[in-house]
Amino acid sequence: AQKVTQAQTEISVVEKEDVTLDCVYETRDTTYYLFWYKQPPSGELVFLIRRNSFDEQNEISGRYSWNFQKSTSSFNFTITASQVVDSAVYFCALSETFSGGYNKLIFGAGTRLAVHP
Protein backbone atom coordinates (compact mmCIF):
# COMPACT_ATOMS: atom_id res chain seq x y z
CA ALA A 1 0.00 0.00 0.00
CA GLN A 2 1.09 3.56 -0.55
CA LYS A 3 2.63 5.21 2.46
CA VAL A 4 4.67 8.25 3.40
CA THR A 5 6.94 8.20 6.43
CA GLN A 6 8.42 11.23 8.08
CA ALA A 7 10.41 9.72 10.90
CA GLN A 8 11.36 13.01 12.50
CA THR A 9 8.48 14.24 14.64
CA GLU A 10 10.16 17.42 15.84
CA ILE A 11 13.40 19.18 15.05
CA SER A 12 14.81 22.11 16.94
CA VAL A 13 17.67 24.20 15.54
CA VAL A 14 19.29 27.53 16.10
CA GLU A 15 18.99 30.18 13.44
CA LYS A 16 21.48 29.86 10.56
CA GLU A 17 21.88 26.13 11.01
CA ASP A 18 21.15 23.88 8.06
CA VAL A 19 18.42 21.32 8.59
CA THR A 20 17.26 18.31 6.56
CA LEU A 21 13.76 16.89 6.78
CA ASP A 22 13.49 13.26 5.79
CA CYS A 23 10.74 11.66 3.74
CA VAL A 24 10.49 8.03 2.68
CA TYR A 25 7.62 6.74 0.58
CA GLU A 26 6.18 3.46 -0.62
CA THR A 27 4.29 2.99 -3.85
CA ARG A 28 3.75 0.35 -6.52
CA ASP A 29 3.12 2.93 -9.21
CA THR A 30 5.78 3.86 -11.72
CA THR A 31 4.19 7.26 -12.27
CA TYR A 32 3.64 9.44 -9.26
CA TYR A 33 4.30 12.87 -7.83
CA LEU A 34 5.92 13.88 -4.59
CA PHE A 35 5.15 17.10 -2.76
CA TRP A 36 6.31 19.16 0.14
CA TYR A 37 3.94 21.51 1.96
CA LYS A 38 4.62 23.97 4.75
CA GLN A 39 2.04 24.64 7.45
CA PRO A 40 2.96 27.72 9.51
CA PRO A 41 1.24 28.47 12.83
CA SER A 42 -1.51 30.27 10.96
CA GLY A 43 -2.64 26.88 9.68
CA GLU A 44 -2.80 27.23 5.91
CA LEU A 45 -0.99 24.70 3.75
CA VAL A 46 1.64 26.33 1.58
CA PHE A 47 2.80 24.44 -1.49
CA LEU A 48 6.58 24.24 -1.77
CA ILE A 49 7.43 21.79 -4.52
CA ARG A 50 6.09 19.05 -6.75
CA ARG A 51 8.41 16.46 -8.27
CA ASN A 52 7.60 13.98 -11.04
CA SER A 53 8.72 10.40 -10.48
CA PHE A 54 10.64 10.47 -13.74
CA ASP A 55 12.69 13.49 -12.78
CA GLU A 56 15.43 12.70 -10.30
CA GLN A 57 17.26 15.96 -10.66
CA ASN A 58 17.83 17.74 -7.41
CA GLU A 59 16.24 21.14 -7.13
CA ILE A 60 17.32 24.29 -5.41
CA SER A 61 15.15 27.28 -4.75
CA GLY A 62 16.83 29.95 -2.68
CA ARG A 63 17.57 28.45 0.73
CA TYR A 64 15.50 25.36 -0.05
CA SER A 65 16.76 22.24 -1.80
CA TRP A 66 15.30 18.83 -2.45
CA ASN A 67 17.04 15.52 -2.97
CA PHE A 68 14.94 12.87 -4.75
CA GLN A 69 16.37 9.35 -4.87
CA LYS A 70 14.19 6.63 -6.35
CA SER A 71 16.70 3.96 -5.37
CA THR A 72 15.98 4.63 -1.70
CA SER A 73 12.41 5.95 -2.18
CA SER A 74 13.36 9.16 -0.48
CA PHE A 75 12.55 12.80 -1.11
CA ASN A 76 14.44 14.83 1.48
CA PHE A 77 14.17 18.55 2.01
CA THR A 78 17.01 20.77 3.20
CA ILE A 79 16.76 24.31 4.48
CA THR A 80 20.08 26.15 4.41
CA ALA A 81 20.80 28.90 6.91
CA SER A 82 17.47 28.45 8.66
CA GLN A 83 15.49 31.44 9.86
CA VAL A 84 12.88 31.87 12.55
CA VAL A 85 10.24 32.29 9.84
CA ASP A 86 10.94 28.73 8.73
CA SER A 87 9.33 27.48 11.93
CA ALA A 88 6.37 25.39 10.83
CA VAL A 89 5.15 21.87 10.30
CA TYR A 90 6.39 20.42 7.04
CA PHE A 91 4.48 17.69 5.26
CA CYS A 92 5.72 15.34 2.59
CA ALA A 93 3.02 13.85 0.36
CA LEU A 94 2.65 11.30 -2.41
CA SER A 95 0.15 11.50 -5.24
CA GLU A 96 -0.44 8.39 -7.26
CA THR A 97 -3.08 7.03 -9.54
CA PHE A 98 -5.90 4.90 -8.17
CA SER A 99 -8.36 2.79 -10.07
CA GLY A 100 -10.62 5.11 -11.99
CA GLY A 101 -7.63 7.16 -13.03
CA TYR A 102 -7.77 9.73 -10.29
CA ASN A 103 -5.22 10.83 -7.75
CA LYS A 104 -5.21 11.75 -4.13
CA LEU A 105 -2.52 12.99 -1.82
CA ILE A 106 -1.25 10.68 0.87
CA PHE A 107 0.44 12.71 3.59
CA GLY A 108 3.16 11.89 6.01
CA ALA A 109 2.61 12.71 9.68
CA GLY A 110 4.64 15.90 9.36
CA THR A 111 7.81 17.22 10.95
CA ARG A 112 7.54 20.17 13.30
CA LEU A 113 10.54 22.46 12.83
CA ALA A 114 11.36 25.04 15.46
CA VAL A 115 14.04 27.57 14.61
CA HIS A 116 15.28 29.54 17.60
CA PRO A 117 17.02 32.90 17.43
Q: How far is the CB of 81 from another protein (least distance, A)?
A: 27
- Residues ≥6 apart with Cβ < 8 Å to 102: none
Q: How far is the CB of 65 from another protein (least distance, A)?
A: 20
Q: Which of 1, 41, 44, 117 binds another protein (CB under 8 A)?
A: 44
Q: How far is the CB of 31 from another protein (least distance, A)?
A: 5
Q: Is 62 in the site for another protein (CB under 8 A)?
A: no
Q: Is 43 in the site for another protein (CB under 8 A)?
A: yes
Question: Is residue 76 a contact partner of residue 67, using CB atoms and an 8 Å limit?
Answer: yes
